[in-house]
Amino acid sequence: MFRSIGTAVVRHPVWTIVAWLIAAVAIVATAPSLPSNSDESSFLPKSYESIKAADLQEKAFPSAFTPSAIALFQRTDGAELTAEDKKDVARITTELGDKKIDQVQKVVPGQPSDDGRYTMTLVQMDSKNAGQPKQADAAKVLRDDVKQLTKGTDLDVKLGGSAAQALDQQDSSKRGEALIGIGTFVIILVTLLIIFRAPILAFLPLITIGLVAAIANGLIAYATKLFDLQANSSISSILIVVLFGVGTDYFLFLMFRYRERLRAGDEPKEAMVNAVARVGEAIASAAGAVIIAFLALILSTLGFLKQMGPALAIAVTVTLIAGLTLIPAVVSLIGPKIFWPSKTWQREPQNARFAALGRGVQRRPALTAVASGLVLLALSLGTLGYKATFDLASGSMPKTKESMVVQDEMQKAYSAGAAAPTDVYLSSADGKALDRSTFDAYAQKLGAVDGVASAKMSQVNKDGTTADFTVTLKYEASTDKAIDAVGRVRDVAHADAPDGTKALVGGMSSIYKDIDTAVNHDYRTVFPVAALLIMLILGLLLRSVVAPFYLIASVGLGFGATLGATVWIFQDAQGHSGLMFMLPVIMYLFVVAIGTDYNILMIARLREEAREGRDPREAASMALRHAGPTVAAAGFILAATFATMMLAGNALLTEMGFAVSFGIAVAAFVMAMFFTPSLTALIGHAAWWPGHADRPVDASGGSSGGSSGTGPSSGAGRDTVVHDPAGRPG
Give the integer Cα–Cα distance in Å for 710 and 698.
Answer: 16
User: Which residue stretches of 82-198 are H helix?
Assistant: 83-98, 133-150, 162-196
* Per-residue pLDDT, 713: 35
Contact predicate 302/390, CB 8 Å: no
Give the integer Cα–Cα distance in Å for 293 and 248.
Answer: 20
Contact predicate 435/486, CB 8 Å: no
Contact predicate 162/39, CB 8 Å: yes
* Per-residue pLDDT, 598: 86
* Per-residue pLDDT, 282: 83
Give the integer Cα–Cα distance in Å for 167 and 173.
Answer: 10
Task: Give tens-digit pLDDT for 438-485.
Answer: 999 999 999 999 999 889 998 999 899 999 999 999 888 878 888 999
Per DSSP, 124 falls in state E
The distance in angstroms from the start CA to the end CA of the chain is 30
Give the integer Cα–Cα distance in Å for 426 and 503.
Answer: 5
Q: Decide if pLDDT at 720 tops 50.
A: no
Give the integer Cα–Cα distance in Å for 114 and 128.
Answer: 33
Give the integer Cα–Cα distance in Å for 16 and 477.
Answer: 55
Task: Give tens-digit pLDDT for 342-396.
Answer: 877 767 665 467 888 888 889 999 999 999 999 999 999 999 999 888 766 665 6
3-state secondary structure of 388: strand
* Per-residue pLDDT, 43: 66
**Range name among 10-19, 20-29, 456-465, 535-544 with the lowest pLDDT average:** 535-544
